[in-house]
Structure 1
Amino acid sequence: MFRHAIVFLFFPDEFEPIISNSGKRKIVSRLHEGERVNPSDAVAVDRALLKIRARLEEKYPGGEHHFYLSPFKEHWQVPKPPGPRYTTNGGTIREVDSDQYQPDPLRYLPTHAQQDLFIPPTHFNRLLTSLERRKNLILQGPPGTGKTFIAHRIAWCLIGHKDNDPIEMVQFHQSYAYEDFVEGFRPTDDGGFTLKPGVFHRFCERARANPEVPHVFIIDEINRGNLSRIFGELLMLIEHDKRSEDYAVALTYSDTRFHVPANVHILGMMNTADRSLALVDYALRRRFAFETLEPAYESDHGRNAFTDYLTSHGADPALPRRICDRMGTLNKMIRDDRELGRGFEVGHSYFVPDDGDEPSEDWYRHIVDTQIVPLLREYWFDSLEIVEEAVDGLTADA
């Protein structure tokens, strides 16, 4: 902070009156055009800010401008849209409640999504293309690889805006049934029963009313449910080449003819570390494209993106490198274990700071103690000496 204040006092035409490292980095990450700027290189960040200011002053000539005041701030301080709101239906279903949501009118493109992700642009574009072409996509991977985070960004890119209204999210489990999903009889206040559409039926009707807008139905823990029992006769209709009235079928209870609209896309998520799950049903394999997400520590691109992200939030550049090295060693132990394997690795999402967090060694150790160690005790519940060895590696002095 002291450096930023001094250089501005002596060179006000070449440096910004901004003392926040993270603020400068965020402006550059949003507005810089050209080759990537290393966020830990303070000189490069200041040079990039100078170029950004020159470009914006051409657009807004006259007067003194500040990055934290209009009209500059609107270019980089993108208001965070409210995330999906969840409600409970009988204690089993989590649905997006978007009645209070006002969509961001700005276009949302893969380049915007990439600012928040640790996977290469080519990988993200492949995920998006798979969902567009096949209509049905499953993201599978170990815990903490950002499946839910990426799923919403895929959906926003497909829709073209940060708009949660055309998105619905549910979580499957072993008791989830056709009556929850498609239609079924529900008790009424007078002691009787009435036929009500399920969450997917209602979602399809919303999509049918807006055929020009892509709609994305997100299913968490998709492999925990019995797909044949949940989808019933709709299992065939979700196939990408059967999205028309020509393939409409009569529903089990109402006997009305129904088909899945062409603008409905189904995006499932699957945790590969869930021991309670059997092999994925063939019916699921045949109707969905599958894409695997891995921890960021496993690739050069992921490590670099993870390092840049943490340093942009105020971390010392050495911290993310230590995290990558330590977690890389842990994941090798997990991969080499015959009872575990690659599907049980520990992802990077555990170490993505929340708003207000200041990434530090103490912050890292708190996450290890409260989130990673309990997971390892579950993995090696009958081999505590392996847990101790793993924890020693995670907490070794830098």
Structure 2
Amino acid sequence: MVDVGSQVQGNYWFVGAYFNDRNPQDQTERFLADGVWENGFDDQLLDTVKSMQAGDKIAIKSTYVRKRDLPFDNHENLVSTMAIKAVGTVTRNHGDGHFVDVDWEPLDAPREWYFYTGRSTIWQVKPKNWLSEGLIRFAFQNEPQHLDRFRNDPAWSARFGDADLTLKYDFAWTTFYEEFATELLKFKDNRTALLEILSDLQQKHGVLSYLTDKNSEGASQSLTDICPFTVLATFNRGITSLKRTALAGDWAKALGVSTPAPVSFDGIPLVNNMNSWFFQYSSDQGRDDIETLWNVFEAALDLAKNPDEHERIKFVEAYDAARVLPQVKTKLSMGLFWSRPWHFLPLDGQSRSYLKSELMLDGNLQNADGPKYLATIDLLSAKFDDAEYAVHSFPELSWTAFLTPGASPAESTTGSLDEEIVEQASVVPLATYNVDDIVEDGCFLLPTELQEMLDRWRNKKNLILQGPPGTGKTWLARRLAHALIGTKDLRSAIRAVQFHPNASYEDFVRGWRPGPEGQLALVDGPFLEMVERANAAPDVPHVLLIEEINRGNPVQIFGELLTLIEAGKRSPREALHLAYPRSSDETVHVPSNLYIIGTMNLADRSLAIMDLAFRRRFGFVSLEPAVNDRWADWVHSNFNVSMSELKDIQLRFASLNQTISDDPNLGTQFMLGHSFITPTSEINSFRNWFEAVVATEIGPTLDEYWFDNPEKAHSLCQELLS
């Protein structure tokens, strides 16, 4: 039998073989010869290295990008690539944050893995989904990568997917922008030639007349220097798309760019026409201002090409030096996005608004320094891999922010502005979603049962899905929300929050919080933001999903709005004053197109009984373990498991749940749901996968149930596996 633990358990580390800038040479040969891996940084990653344990698997990797000689059609896009150069097992941790001993297994040649790659020197990978499991099997079990599945996953399909599977967004412009930046960098040490090109284009394009320097007396004169971002800004400012295409095309011809200039610029952030320079007039400049901007431009392209730790350090230093220059600030992130749109996050006003209101990221990103900027990029890059996440790349994030109502541009705008009429973004038809689609996604209830839930929710406005652990409450809540709205494409119409014992009215509705300068500011929470969003689009149902709704104190968290969420009081006539009003006459009502759905785990002993007044405002739907014939048919058809094996597991699982239900200290609310034994990603062997689930998920749960009788918990696990 295959060792299940080696597939789904344990820690897996993917580590670099480069040191800091003092010694940027590849150390792979030394590591293999000495049987070690070493963290070469004096004061970084020490705690992470200390957490490595004997028995952990480790692989030496090198991360870079590729464009040529790939085993699939990359459509001329850069591909994130990670070479696996050696694998091994940690045998001892020295405890100093620097050295671990490793039993290495050298490879005959590096093996290249694509798309899902780690940027940092140390990347801990846990087998939590098909992406990470695939990487672990590729690196440590010599299995091939399922390239077609990766190419057509939402995270990468816009660039690499099959024609009939690609996303509805058109990001063809990114290829031109990336090549433009690559060619532009060649002029870093030949800016005289770049200025000559600018002079020629100024004679042809009147929109470039603004690029004229002034001396200390205010007299006009020609520019004597220019930075790369100001060049890019010439066709990323408030002019028509027609002029942008013509100007970008002439720049490209002069620089040697072969990709045609784009004809559509939807979703690309623009600088304001009155603030499109990245440096000051020569009389006000610091001596190295423009050189500093070229340095961060070069560091960004190097980091996108090779995201190792020493490149990250160089980028952070260059970013922080450039960000504080006059005329720069958040425009720097926009320039980086233009240069490498698949690697850098734009922090224009519209994107920041979307990050805060839709993706729940804020933290004063407008003033983010280099480490925080990179940390935000890393966080989002990890979330892009989740098919359920709202967006899957930085271009899609910028595009979605452009389309999201209620976004508030600040120093920049996304789209095209001019005194001339500018074409509107094309409206993309939204794919419908209904109860049949929920069943198709893997729900084991009947469409009629799901329709009854939706009808009850529409009538009551507020619904709670309750049930034992593993019955798919959150999974179903999200899909019921999509069905209520009628599509999965309006991501901005859904927002999810999670209650916890420390959740408060100030967090959820409105409260005083420290602002950017340290002063207190009155900040709306997710509930009022959804109220505002629903009021702005009254024809569209909006959904607030509250996970673990009974983990907090709902009556205290909702406050006076508990009255307003009642179905019969969803009108302006019922508006109330808030505990923290913005003005003496401000009142708030909950619009009729805002629906609330919560989830509640009945088996959690830490939860208090819910207030009856709160219960009266919600409809309740109880979910039960659904290890039924529909479950068996779905697993059989999607994972090629024999029906006889599934029928056997049905009987064993039903017997386990009956034992739990009959226990006077437990009961039906502690039964285990079908999610425990339903695969969510590709598996090599259902039997091995099932044994691992029993060992790592069901077994620990039973140990908790019968903490005073471990022999019984062990016996029940054996009955499942016998």
TM-score, length basis structure 2: 0.41
- Alignment partner of 2:569: what SS? coil
- Equivalent of 2:469 in 143, 155, 163: 143
- Residue 535 of structure 2 is matched in structure 1 by 208
Q: Identity of paired residues, percent?
A: 42
Q: Distance in 2 between matches of 1:270 and 1:80?
A: 36
What amino acid maps onto 1:268 in structure 2? Answer: G
The separation in 2 between residues aligned to 1:266 and 1:78, in whole angstroms, is 32
Is 1:260 aligned with 2:585? no
The answer to whether 1:168 aligns with 2:495 is yes
Are 2:655 and 1:329 aligned?
yes
2:504 matches 1:177: yes
Q: Which residue of 1 aligns with 2:599?
A: 269
**How far apart are 1:133 and its partner, in Å?**
0.6
Structure 2: tracts of 5 or more residues without a match:
1-160, 170-357, 364-382, 384-388, 404-427
C-alpha contact 2:462 2:595 (8 A) present in aligned 1: yes
Q: Which moved more, 1:267-276 or 1:305-314?
A: 305-314
1:53-101 Cα offsets, whole Å, 9 max, x none, are xxxxxxxxxxxxxxx987xxx5xx79799xxx864679xxx9x866835
Offset from partner CA, 1:294-351 (integer Å, 9 cap, x none): 0012xxxxx1111111111221222221221111011001000011000000011122
2:622 to 266, 288, 292: 292
1:306 aligns with 2:662: no
Task: State whether structure 2 residue 674 is matched by structure 1 residue 348.
Answer: yes
Query: After superposition, what is the alpha-carbon deviation per residue over 1:109-141, rounded to whole angstroms, capped at 9, x for unaligned?
Result: 211112221012221111111111100000000
Deviation at 1:211, TM superposition (A): 0.2
Aligned AA (1:214): P
Q: How is 1:1-398 mapped onto 2 (pairs within 5 angstroms)?
A: 87=360, 100=397, 105-115=430-440, 116-163=442-489, 164-254=491-581, 255=584, 256-297=586-627, 303-312=628-637, 313-358=639-684, 360-396=686-722
Letter paired with 1:150: L
1:391 offset after TM fit, Å? 1.1
Distance 1:128 1:78 in 2: 31
Maintained 8 Å contact 1:314/1:358 = no
Task: Give the direction of change, closer, same or farther, for the CA distance of 1:97–1:121 in structure 2 (3 Å limit).
Answer: closer
Pairwise CA distance, 1:228: 1.7
Give yes or no for contact 1:315–1:358 (8 Å, CA) kept in 2.
Answer: no
Distance 1:189 1:125 in 2: 47
In structure 2, the CA distance between the partners of 1:97 and 1:283, relative to structure 1 (3 Å rule), is farther
Question: How far apart in 1 are the matches of 2:647 and 2:587?
Answer: 57
CA distance in 2: counterparts of 1:179 and 1:380, whole angstroms: 39
Task: Write the distance in 1 (CA, Å) between the matches of 2:604 and 2:502.
Answer: 17
CA–CA separation in structure 2 for the residues paired with 1:110 and 1:387: 38
- The alignment partner of 1:223 has SS state of coil
CA distance in structure 2 between the partners assigned to 1:138 and 1:383 by the alignment: 34
CA distance in 2, matches of 1:88, 1:374: 34
Q: Helix, strand or coil for the counterpart of 1:196?
A: strand
* Offset, 1:104: 7.6
Task: Give 5+ residue unaligned stretches, structure 1.
Answer: 1-67, 298-302
TM-score (norm 1): 0.74
Per-residue deviation, 1:389: 2.0
Native 8 Å contact 2:549 2:599 kept in 1: yes
Instruction: Please tell me whether the aligned partners of residues 555 and 611 of structure 2 are also in contact (alpha carbons under 8 angstroms).
Output: no
Structure 2: distance between partners of 1:97 and 1:204: 20
Counterparts of 1:165 and 1:113 in 2: how far apart (Å)?
Answer: 20
Contact 1:314 / 1:359 at 8 angstroms: preserved in 2?
Answer: no
| Residue 192 of structure 1, CA deviation | 1.5
Please give the alpha-carbon distance, in whole angstroms, between the structure 2 residues aligned to 1:240 and 1:132. 9
* TM-aligned CA distance change 1:69 to 1:210, over 3 Å: closer
Name whichever of 208-217 and 119-128 sits farther off: 119-128
Q: Following the alignment from structure 1 to structure 2, what is the Cα–Cα distance between the partners of residues 389 and 283?
A: 44
- The residue aligned with 1:28 is none
Whether the 8 Å contact between 1:183 and 1:201 is mirrored in structure 2 is: yes
2:488 maps to a residue whose letter is K
Q: Is the CA contact (8 Å cut-off) linking 2:542 and 2:594 kept in structure 1? A: yes
* 1:275 positional shift: 0.6
Secondary structure of the equivalent of 2:535? helix
Secondary structure at the counterpart of residue 195 of structure 1: strand
The aligned length equals 312
Aligned Cα root-mean-square deviation (Å): 2.5
Cα separation, partners in 2 of 1:381 and 1:231, compared to 1, 3 Å: same
Assess if the C-alpha contact under 8 Å between 1:104 and 1:162 holds in 2. Answer: no
